[in-house]
Structure 1
Amino acid sequence: MIQNGELLIRLMNANDYEVMVKWLNDKKVLEFYEEPPSNMDRVIKKYGPRVEGQHNVTPCIIEHKEEPIGYIQYYKIQEDEFRRYGYTTNERIYGIDQFIGESRLWGKGMGTSMILMMLNYLSINKNASRVVLEVKIGNGRAISCYKKCGFREIKDLNDAHCLMEWVNRTK
């Protein structure tokens, strides 16, 4: 789907469920991604409809040198999220969620690279005017990465999360 050097973002498929179970049981990952520990049934129930195209979320796997290392998903913001986030226009706003599942690769710039790849894809292929994401306020590593990619904090959502926004300046 999207490739830049040794990084590839591709559509998730049923063969990826096992690695998702692994990542969603890693305490380091769960500290920031906020999923309960998982098992195969839970992963299939949550990600199966997305993989099969029966959901508004497009799930993707990030590979480095052909090894799955993380997850990223994108979706067009729906009407209820428009209101929750405080938007009033009919812009093409997308949301993303992501994590590097292989914690040994944290701090190596792969998160920044994959997010920039996704922003470029959404800008060109989906005509996105803005991209938003929610982040835990205490997740300094992620916030720093998002800021490097051009996101800025725009709204506190509750006592633990904030909304960050990237604006497509080419529009």
Structure 2
Amino acid sequence: MIAFRPLAAADFPMLTGWLAEPHVRRFVQKTPMTLEDVATKYGPRVRGEQPIICHVAQSDGADFGYLQAYRNRDWPDAADGQTDGISLDLHIGEPAFLGRGLGRAMLDAYVRGLALPHFAQTTAYIAHELANTAALACSKVVGFTPLREFVEDGEAMLLLRLKL
């Protein structure tokens, strides 16, 4: 069973560690972040100063992943210019939780049970590098369908959409 709790400032050391993990660095956070960097970036989100929701995913009470969602109209450069619906970002931080189907479970539970209802939306977008075949497969199993390819920061990406 997957549960979610809001990200808190007390989670910043854990999040800093996750962002330094090789599997996260490969596709999510390519440049190193210090604890101060994480506090600067995620602090406004935790304090409600930005229109974005951030959560920690738990399995049997153990923290293992990070998720965030935001309305696309609030972030014009999100979702390759889409203005409808919401966008999601996520990663499994704890290496011991990789390869167990938890990415699929947390994405499905989060998008349908928390993110879309929170923003009163019926459309969600997610983008992955084309080389991130595990994330692409996960999103497709959850029901996201390919929309179009685009380039972000020099990387070939695929934008996927879920419509309820």
TM-score (norm 2): 0.89
As a proportion of its length, which structure holds more helix? Answer: 2
User: Where in structure 2 are the equivalents of 1:1-171 lying within 5 Å?
Assistant: 5=1, 7-78=2-73, 80-81=76-77, 84-85=80-81, 91=84, 93-120=85-112, 121-158=114-151, 159-168=155-164
In 1: Cα distance, 2:36 partner to 2:79 partner: 33
Equivalent position amino acid for 1:119 in 2? V
Equivalent position amino acid for 1:98 in 2? L
DSSP 3-state at the match of 1:142: helix
8 A Cα contact 2:79 2:125, kept in partner: no
8 A Cα contact 2:116 2:124, kept in partner: no
In 2: Cα distance, 1:46 partner to 1:125 partner: 22
8 A Cα contact 1:24 1:36, kept in partner: no
In 1: Cα distance, 2:34 partner to 2:78 partner: 32
Deviates more, 1:59-68 or 1:132-141: 59-68
Equivalent position amino acid for 2:108 in 1? L
In 1: Cα distance, 2:69 partner to 2:144 partner: 16
In 2: Cα distance, 1:72 partner to 1:122 partner: 10
Shift in Å at residue 35 of structure 1? 3.9
DSSP 3-state at the match of 1:114: helix
Instruction: Report % sequence identity.
Output: 23
Shift in Å at residue 124 of structure 1? 3.5
In 2: Cα distance, 1:22 partner to 1:122 partner: 25
8 A Cα contact 2:79 2:159, kept in partner: no
- Distance change >3 Å, CA 81–CA 130, structure 1 → 2: farther
Shift in Å at residue 83 of structure 1? 9.0
Shift in Å at residue 64 of structure 1? 1.6
- Distance change >3 Å, CA 124–CA 81, structure 1 → 2: same
Shift in Å at residue 25 of structure 1? 1.0
Equivalent position amino acid for 2:41 in 1? K
Residue segments in structure 2 that go unaligned for 5+ positions in a row: none
Equivalent pairs, count: 159
In 1: Cα distance, 2:48 partner to 2:82 partner: 28
